[in-house]
Chain A
Amino acid sequence: MAEQRKKLKVAITGNPNCGKTVLFNELTGGRQHVGNWPGVTVEQRSGTHRVDGHELEVVDLPGTYSLSPLTPDQMVARDYIVSDEPDVIINIVDASNLERNLFLTSQLLELELPLVIALNMMDVVEARGDKIDTEQLSQLLGCPVVPIVATKRRNLDGLIESVIAVAEGKTKHKQVRVNYGKDLERSIATVSTWLEEHETVSLGGSRRWQAIRLLEGDPEYLQKLEELEDGEELKGLVAAEYARMESLLGEEPENHFNEAAYGFAAGAIRETIRRNALGRAKTTEKIDRVLTHRIWGLPIFGLLMWLTFEVTFTLGAPFMGWIEEGFGWLAGLAASIIPEGLLQSLVVDGIIGGVGGVLVFVPNILFLFLMISILEDSGYMARAAFVMDRFMHKLGLHGKNFIPMVIGFGCTVPAVMAARTLENPKDRLVTILTVPLMSCGARLPVYILLVGAFFPAAYAGTIIFGIYLLGIVLAVVMAKLLRGTILKGDRDPFVMELPSYHIPTVKAVLLHAGQRGWLYMRKAGTIILFAMVIIWALTAFPGEPENPAAFEEMRLTSVAEFTETQEEIAFGLGLSYAVEDFAPTVEAPYIPWLAENAGLLTLTEGVGDAHEDFSATVEDDELAEGSADYATAENELEESLTALSADESLYTAASQLYEAESRYTTELAMIGAAEESARLKVTPLGYIGRGLSYVFYPLGFDWKVSSALVAGFAAKEIVVGTLGILYSIGEVDESSSELQERISAELNEQSDGGGWLTALTLMVFVLIYVPCVAVLAVIKRETGSWKWVGFSILYLTGLAYAVAGLTRLIGSLWL
Chain B
Amino acid sequence: MTTQTDSTLYIDQLPADTEFEVTHVRGGRRAKQRLAELGLPIGSRARIVERYPLIVSVGETRLALGRGLASKVVVRLLVDDSHSATSEAPVENG
Interface residues of A (CB under 8 A from B): 65-66, 68, 70, 96-100, 103-104, 179-181, 217, 219, 251-252, 254-256, 258-260, 262-264, 266-267, 269-270, 279-280, 284-285, 288-289, 292, 294, 297, 382, 386-387, 389-390, 393, 398-399, 423, 491-498, 500
For this complex, 20 residue pairs linking A to B, each with C-beta atoms less than 8 Å apart, are: A97-B61, A100-B39, A103-B37, A255-B32, A256-B93, A262-B89, A263-B94, A279-B85, A280-B86, A288-B62, A292-B55, A389-B66, A389-B67, A393-B68, A493-B69, A495-B63, A496-B64, A497-B38, A498-B63, A498-B64
Contact of B30 among A70, A104, A179 (CB under 8 A): A70
Q: Which residues of A have CB within 8 Å of B42?
A: 251, 255, 258-259
CB distance from A206 to the nearest CB of B (A): 20
B89, A266: Cβ atoms under 8 Å? Answer: yes
Q: Which residues of A have CB within 8 Å of B35?
A: 493, 495
* B14 interface contact, C-beta 8 A: no
Contact of A498 among B41, B62, B94 (CB under 8 A): B62
B30, A495: Cβ atoms under 8 Å? Answer: no
A103, B68: Cβ atoms under 8 Å? Answer: no
Expressed in whole angstroms, the Cα–Cα distance for A398 and B94 within the complex equals: 37
A260, B93: Cβ atoms under 8 Å? Answer: yes
Q: Which residue from chain B places its CB closest to the CB of A382 in the assembled complex?
A: B64
Contact of B50 among A181, A219, A288 (CB under 8 A): A288
Contact of B44 among A262, A285, A399 (CB under 8 A): A262
* B92 interface contact, C-beta 8 A: yes
A97, B33: Cβ atoms under 8 Å? Answer: no
Q: Which residues of B have CB within 8 Å of A99?
A: 39, 59-60, 88-89
Q: Which residues of B have CB within 8 Å of A492?
A: 30
> How many B residues have CB within 8 A of the partner chain?
45
A97, B60: Cβ atoms under 8 Å? Answer: yes
Expressed in whole angstroms, the Cα–Cα distance for A181 and B94 within the complex equals: 7
B33, A495: Cβ atoms under 8 Å? Answer: no
Q: Which residue from chain B places its CB closest to the CB of A423 in the assembled complex?
A: B30
A495, B92: Cβ atoms under 8 Å? Answer: no
Q: Which residues of B have CB within 8 Å of A65?
A: 37-38
* B79 interface contact, C-beta 8 A: no
B66, A68: Cβ atoms under 8 Å? Answer: no
Q: Which residue from chain B places its CB closest to the CB of A95 in the assembled complex?
A: B60
Q: Known contacts being A70-B33, A498-B62, is A493 close to B49, with CB within 8 Å? A: no
B64, A495: Cβ atoms under 8 Å? Answer: yes
Expressed in whole angstroms, the Cα–Cα distance for A96 and B59 within the complex equals: 10
Contact of A493 among B34, B41, B53 (CB under 8 A): B34
B37, A66: Cβ atoms under 8 Å? Answer: yes
CB distance from B60 to the nearest CB of A (A): 4
Nearest 10 interchain pairs by C-beta: A494-B66, A263-B93, A65-B37, A493-B69, A97-B60, A66-B37, A100-B39, A258-B41, A266-B89, A493-B31
Most buried by A among B27, B34, B44: B34
B41, A259: Cβ atoms under 8 Å? Answer: yes
CB distance from A498 to the nearest CB of B (A): 4
Q: Which residues of A have CB within 8 Å of B68?
A: 393, 398, 491, 493-494
Expressed in whole angstroms, the Cα–Cα distance for A498 and B30 within the complex equals: 20
Q: Which residues of A have CB within 8 Å of B41?
A: 255, 258-259, 262
Contacts A68-B33, A180-B93, A493-B31 known; list 4 others, CB within 8 Å. Answer: A254-B29, A393-B68, A399-B64, A495-B64
A259, B90: Cβ atoms under 8 Å? Answer: yes
B60, A389: Cβ atoms under 8 Å? Answer: no
Within 8 A of A (CB), among B16-61: 27, 29-44, 49-50, 52-53, 55, 57-61
Q: Which residues of A have CB within 8 Å of B43?
A: 255, 259, 262
Contact of B66 among A254, A393, A498 (CB under 8 A): A393
Expressed in whole angstroms, the Cα–Cα distance for A104 and B49 within the complex equals: 25
* B78 interface contact, C-beta 8 A: no
Contact of A390 among B29, B53, B88 (CB under 8 A): B53
Q: Which residue from chain B places its CB closest to the CB of A496 in the assembled complex?
A: B64
B60, A285: Cβ atoms under 8 Å? Answer: no
A259, B38: Cβ atoms under 8 Å? Answer: no
Expressed in whole angstroms, the Cα–Cα distance for A269 and B39 within the complex equals: 15
Expressed in whole angstroms, the Cα–Cα distance for A280 and B90 within the complex equals: 19
Contact of B63 among A267, A390, A497, A500 (CB under 8 A): A497
Q: Which residues of B have CB within 8 Å of A398?
A: 66, 68
Q: Which residues of B have CB within 8 Å of A96?
A: 60
Q: Which residues of B have CB within 8 Å of A180?
A: 93
Q: Known contacts being A103-B37, A280-B85, A386-B53, is A266 close to B92, with CB within 8 Å? A: yes
Most buried by B among A258, A267, A495: A495
CB distance from A63 to the nearest CB of B (A): 11
Q: Which residues of B have CB within 8 Å of A263?
A: 90-94
CB distance from A79 to the nearest CB of B (A): 17
* B65 interface contact, C-beta 8 A: yes
Q: Which residue from chain B places its CB closest to the CB of A267 in the assembled complex?
A: B92
Q: Which residues of A have CB within 8 Å of B90?
A: 259, 262-263, 266
Contact of B64 among A68, A104, A181, A386 (CB under 8 A): A386
Q: Which residue from chain B places its CB closest to the CB of A66 in the assembled complex?
A: B37
CB distance from A246 to the nearest CB of B (A): 13
Q: Known contacts being A262-B41, A496-B64, is A285 close to B33, with CB within 8 Å? A: no
Q: Which residues of A have CB within 8 Å of B63?
A: 495-498
B30, A292: Cβ atoms under 8 Å? Answer: no
Q: Known contacts being A294-B52, A294-B53, is A284 close to B62, with CB within 8 Å? A: yes
Q: Which residues of A have CB within 8 Å of B64?
A: 292, 382, 386, 389, 399, 494-498
Q: Which residue from chain A places its CB closest to the CB of B31 in the assembled complex?
A: A493
Q: Which residue from chain B places its CB closest to the CB of A278 in the assembled complex?
A: B85
A493, B60: Cβ atoms under 8 Å? Answer: no
A285, B57: Cβ atoms under 8 Å? Answer: yes
Expressed in whole angstroms, the Cα–Cα distance for A229 and B55 within the complex equals: 47
CB distance from A493 to the nearest CB of B (A): 4
Contact of A289 among B36, B50, B61 (CB under 8 A): B50
CB distance from B47 to the nearest CB of A (A): 10
Q: Which residue from chain A places its CB closest to the CB of B52 in the assembled complex?
A: A294
Most buried by A among B39, B72, B91: B39
Q: Which residues of A have CB within 8 Å of B39?
A: 99-100, 103
Expressed in whole angstroms, the Cα–Cα distance for A251 and B93 within the complex equals: 14
Most buried by A among B40, B66, B85: B66
CB distance from A274 to the nearest CB of B (A): 14
CB distance from B40 to the nearest CB of A (A): 8
Q: Which residue from chain A places its CB closest to the CB of B64 in the assembled complex?
A: A386
Q: Which residues of B have CB within 8 Å of A252?
A: 29
Q: Which residues of A have CB within 8 Å of B67?
A: 389-390, 393, 494
Q: Which residue from chain A places its CB closest to the CB of B43 in the assembled complex?
A: A259
